Amino acid sequence: MNEDVEKFWKEWVKDLNDDVAYYKKLARERGELNVKLAHQLERMVVAPTKSDEELNALNKEEKSKWICTACSKSTYETEYDYLASRDLHLECALKEEMKNDPL
C-alpha cells in the first residue's frame, strides 16, 4: 500500500476512534441511551485491532451496566422502544406505575 494512503487511513481510524470515545463519554455523562450506540460503533471501529479476549472483556463490562433496576434482568439486548431508560424495561416501569396508581 502506498505510504501516503496508509498514513491517511491510520489517521482516519485514529480520528474516528477519538470521535467514538468522545461521544461515548458525552453519552455516559448525560446518562443517555446513546452509550449503546457508541459502544456498537466502537466495536465496529476498534474490533479489528483488539483480540477476542479484549473484546469479550469490553462486552462484559458494557453489558454489566445495562441491568433493569426493577427485575434485575439485562436491558442490553432490548430494543429502545421497550426501554423506559437504560436501566429500566418499559414493561417494568408500567407495572410499577400500575402498582402505585391503579386505574
Whether the model clears a pTM of 0.85, i.e. scores above it, the answer is no
Mapping DSSP to helix (H, G, I), strand (E, B) and coil, where does residue 84 land? Answer: strand
Residues 30 and 79 in one domain: no
Nine cell digits for residue 21:
470515545
Give the distance from CA 18 to its chain's centroid.
16
Sign of CA dihedral 11, 17, 19, 25: negative
Residues 22 and 5 in one domain: yes
What domain range is 10 assigned to?
Answer: 1-65
Residues 55 and 11 in one domain: yes
What are 52-92's pLDDT values in tens digits?
677 677 678 778 888 999 999 988 888 888 888 888 999 99
Residues near 39 by beta carbon (within 8 Å), at least 6 away in sequence:
24, 62
Nine cell digits for residue 27:
453519552
Question: Which carries the bigger pLDDT value, residue 32 or residue 95?
Answer: 95
Q: How confident is the model at residue 11 (pLDDT cuts 50, 70, 90)?
A: confident
Residues 27 and 5 in one domain: yes
Biggest CA-to-CA distance, the chain: 70
Nine cell digits for residue 32:
443517555
**Could you tell me if 55 and 33 are in contact, meaning their C-beta atoms sit under 8 angstroms apart?**
no
| Residue 22 backbone dihedrals phi, psi, to 5 degrees | -60, -50
Task: For residues 42-48, give the mean pLDDT.
Answer: 60
Residues 26 and 76 in one domain: no
